[in-house]
Amino acid sequence: MRRNLSGFTLVELLVAIAVMALLAIVSWRGLDGMVRSQQITRERADAVLALQTVLAQWGADLDALQAVERTQPIAWDGQVLRLTRRGMRQPDEGALVVAWTLRNVDGSDRWLRWQSAPVRTHAEWTEAWARAAQWARSPGAAERRHETALMPVAGWQLYYYRGGAWANAQSANTTGSMPQTPGGLGNAAASIPEGVRVQLTLPEGGALAGVITRDWANPLLGGGKS
């Protein structure tokens, strides 16, 4: 008895292989698009979290501004912002000198923060204040140990709010020469502006781009936190 054997022809086999290859290509493109979308979403979420963390530190430094006579609580020279703030651990820790600046690090411009060791005397404050300025311009190994590279920033501008208007912080009066206020604030406390505005220009091509504006209100003058 002869048994008839049936199977696929060569044409049918080629057609089946072509259809399977087409399905594989379509599936791969779908998976690749989904992976890219997840990666972009993750990068954006990480960038937003980093921005929120940095701005929280910025607000914390301003909220902790400490007005000590014969010192400057805040000063901006167009390149570096220097602050005198309370310590972060214990009330008797002493004051801290904090500085913020923009500098090229490993080929990209980044916003940097520097913090001194606790200072308890006017001489220690004067030394830390000078080191903060030196760190912003020509930092050495000793100054770099106290800096933190925060986030990529293409540029930044600073404004102070005084007398009902915003003005460039470099041209504003921050020398502590303002008269004592009726509320009992001394010259150092009165030299702290009513508000501080920072405008950050984020670099193009990153997860976040454009201009970010953050305002802070002086709580000593009745304003809330930033």
Instruction: Name the residue ranges covered by the structural domains of the chain.
Output: 42-221
Residue 13 token pair: 């086999």
For residue 13, list its beta bridge partners.
none
Cβ-based neighbour number of residue 205 at 10 Å: 7
pTM above 0.85, yes or no: no
Taking only the tens place, the pLDDT of each residue in 81-125 is 999 998 876 666 789 999 999 999 888 899 999 999 999 999 999
172 or 195, greater pLDDT: 195
Residue 199 token pair: 């405008």
Taking only the tens place, the pLDDT of each residue in 30-62 is 776 777 777 878 888 888 999 999 999 999 999
